[in-house]
Each structure stands twice: as C-alpha cells, then as structure tokens.
Homo-oligomer: A and B are copies of this chain.
Amino acid sequence: MAPRTNGIGVQVEDTKICVVMVGLPARGKSFIAQKAQRYLQWLSIDAQTFNVGNYRRTEAPHPSADFFDLGNAEGEKRRRAAAEAAMHDMLDWFRNGGVIGILDATNSTKERRKWVLDTCTKEGIEVLFVESKCDDEAMIMANIRDVKLTSPDYQGQDPEQAAQDFKNRIQNYEKVYKSLDEDGDENDYTYLKIMDVGSQVIINRIRDYLQSRVVYYLMNLHIRPRSVWLSRHGESLYNLDGRIGGDADLSPRGHQYAQKLPQLVRDSVGEDRPLTVWTSTLKRTISTARFLPENYNQLQWKALDELDAGVCDGMTYQEIKDVYPEDFVQRDEDKYNYRYRGGESYRDVVIRLEPIIMELERSEDIIIVTHQAILRCIYAYFMKKDQSKSPWMNVPLHTLIKLTPRAYGTDEERFSADIPAVSTWRGKGSTAKHENPTPGANI
C-alpha cells in the first residue's frame, strides 16, 4: 500500500496541528483562518475551523460590550464555556482523523494560550500560534465596517452605535491582551506573528514540514485589492477533432478569440492598469495571448501546461475507450485520482499548481491563459469547489472569467467573446466528440 501523503507529497499520517489564532478583534483572524482552511482543503488536507465566537453566540446572541469586560463575571464564565465547547469539539474531530484544526478566537492572554497548548499537547497535537497584530487605526476601522457590523451580533442595530459598541469591546480585550512572547516567556512556543498585514513577520521554532507550509502560505497573503483573470486558450484544431492533449495550433475561430481578447480584458479591467500575463508553454495558450498589450509582462510556466494524458495524448475519447477500456471506466469512476498511464491525475496537477497558487497569493493583477483541467483546479481553489466535482465542471471556450478575492469568498464575473466554439465538456461515460454540458456542470 502506498503511504498516505498530503497534497504536497509528504507523509502526514502522524501529524496533527492545531493552528491557534491570536489577536484583538478586527485584526483579520477569521480572514486568515478561512484562507488557511481553503488552501489546505484544496490540497486534500483535512482542515477545519472552530470559531469560539459562534459557540458563544448560541448562548449570548447579542451581547453588549460589557459582556466582554473582565469585571463581568457572568460574561467571563460564558466566554470560557464557549472556548471549552469549541476545544471539546475540535479534539473529537482530531480523534476522528482531522489533520489541521484552526481555533479561531482572540486567545489574548498568556493563561488562555497555555491552557490551549497544554490541552492539545496532552492529545499529541502540535500547536502553531498565529497572531495578527495591527495598530493601523484606519485598517481596523475598515475591517469593523466591512465585516464586523454585518456579524450576527449586531443584526438590526444602528451601524454608528454598533461601531462604537465594537470599539468598546476591543478596549475590554486590550486591557488584558498580551502579544505573543512579548515578555520573552513564550519563546519556546511555535508561532508566526504577522504585523500590519505582513509588512513584518516573526517566525519562531517552526518544527516540521506541514507547519512550514502553513506558515509560508500565511506570510504570503496580502489584502491589497486585485483580481485574477482566467481564460482557456482559443479553440484549437485538436478541439475540433475532439482530441485531447497535444500541442496543436488554434482554429480560425481560436485566432478570432485571440484577436478579441485584448478588448475583452480592457472592458473587464475598468481602468487602465497593466496586468501580468501567464501562459503555459504550449502553442495554443501563447498564441491566444499574443495580441495582449506590449506593456503587459508575459511569462510562460511549464506548471500551467495541460494535464498530461500520457499514452492517451492525442487520442479521442472513443479511441481511449477502444484501446484502454478499463482505464476509460476507471477514470470516470474517480476522475480526480485517476492517473493516465505515463501521465497525470488531477491530484498530480494540484501538486504542481501549488507554487502557482502561492505566487498568485503574493501577486496583484494576473491574467492566466491556460487549459481546461488547469483552469478547473485554479478555479476550485478560489471558489472553494469540491475536488471530486471540479474535474467535471464545464469551462466554456472563448470566455474570460474575472475573480476578485474579498474578505470572505471570491466575486466572479464572466465576459463572453461571442465567438462560437465547440464544447469540450464530456459527461460521465460519454465518448461523444462534442456534447452540451448538463446544467449542473456549469461552474
């Protein structure tokens, strides 16, 4: 039996990590937690967030700032109970095979952190503290306005009053807040401290591979506004034939799309800012991107090449079914894990796309011109799609997709070039050269 590995190819059998968020309210802790969870799940690593606020909320749905005052014994008791309930559920989840649990709470005192550490250590769970520290008043207020006032705590309340209440709540936390290791007596903790949204980071005693991957990912996050544009190459000669793989040229309609792409991009950008263009190393993507403006930097990534179909490269689905009938069935049974003979699976593609995702997180405006399977995987990352379903998604040709990451989730817009193209979507079991996607397949 092959050893169980995580998405990056490293054994995780025995690793359990609790990522413990630390920081005052409105410092982006939940933003970080949900990004980390999405990234890990995309890599098929079992990850789950436990938000203490949600546990507290079932008991005290609309607390005022007083509730968070240390002097308020009843509030303190209930908040403690919420932390214990979240911890209880998280430990249960770990016992059932969870790999990375994320404890999303302020954890703003040394005592609370020590309690989390001791409780996890007893269960053989490694603890990685992740603190977001920010003193930029404007940034904190923006966060309060954008995120906190839409929280269930303030449902139906006057925004002005709610903001004031939230600021009072922060002040109550500030009274007891100790930044991680600020006195040097938490120096043996494993931690990542992110200051002012990444302008400085401190990394302390990272011990193993999986910890380092999480840390590297989190230190690359930024919150500057930007978008990511995704497009498949224009229709290719192989697409017309219903053949997969290869390195074919564009069809006449594919060339039309290439010519129209600059206008499509300009319309979707809204203002005049240059993008960076990433293509694969294959002719059909380079050709599709060739009319984009001169002042756009262009870059070819081997990692963006289409899923390698191995011995089936250049075949139609009918030919695959004829020559490798068992493979044809196996692939449809588990399309995400099926690896073509001498080629790749979707799971392999996700592994090779991981550095691309890391780069995308670091970067600002990027347009990616790539291939069907690659686009499905990148789209699944941003839109949090289930890996078992993403290989079946319909991604039409001659369509530009614009994704704009927000605090929670990603906005999507589509721009059709209105240039006809064959469908390259294929339903389970089908060997049709071209068929119409079922409605459920549309991403």
Contact = CB atoms under 8 A, between A and B. Distances in A.
B202 A202 contact: yes
Interface in A298-352: 298-303, 308, 313, 341-342, 344, 348, 351-352
Given A200-B203, A202-B202, A212-B362, A11 B219 contact: no
A212 B201 contact: no
Interface in A1-40: 2-3, 5, 8-11
Contacts of A3: 297-300
Interface residues of A, number: 41
Interface in A211-225: 212, 216, 219-220
A351 B299 contact: no
Contacts of A268: none
B300 A2 contact: yes
A301 B3 CA distance: 11
A438 to B, nearest CB: 32
Contacts of A205: 199-200
The A interface, classified by DSSP as helix, strand, loop or mixed, is mixed
A359 interface: yes
Nearest to A341: B247
Contacts of A363: 209
A44 interface: no
A355 interface: yes
A195 B227 CA distance: 37
A49 interface: no
A231 B118 CA distance: 43
B362 A5 contact: no
A172 interface: no
Nearest to A14: B297
Contacts of A201: 202-203
A209 B219 CA distance: 13
A299 B209 CA distance: 14
Nearest to A205: B199
A204 interface: yes
Given A203-B200, A205-B199, A209-B359, A348 B298 contact: no
A5 B300 contact: yes
Contacts of A301: 9
Contacts of A202: 200-203
B299 A11 contact: yes
A381 B342 CA distance: 27
Contacts of A342: 246-247, 313
Given A203-B203, A204-B200, A5 B313 contact: no
B247 A219 contact: no
Interface string A241-260: 00000110000000000000
A9 B302 contact: yes
A323 to B, nearest CB: 16
Contacts of A187: 200
A351 B302 contact: yes
A111 to B, nearest CB: 23
Interface in A154-209: 187, 199-205, 209
A9 B298 CA distance: 11
9 contacts: A3-B299, A199-B204, A200-B205, A201-B203, A203-B203, A203-B219, A209-B362, A302-B344, A302-B348
For the complex of A and B, 10 pairs with smallest distance between CB atoms: A200-B204, A201-B203, A202-B202, A9-B301, A302-B348, A3-B298, A11-B299, A199-B205, A11-B297, A3-B299
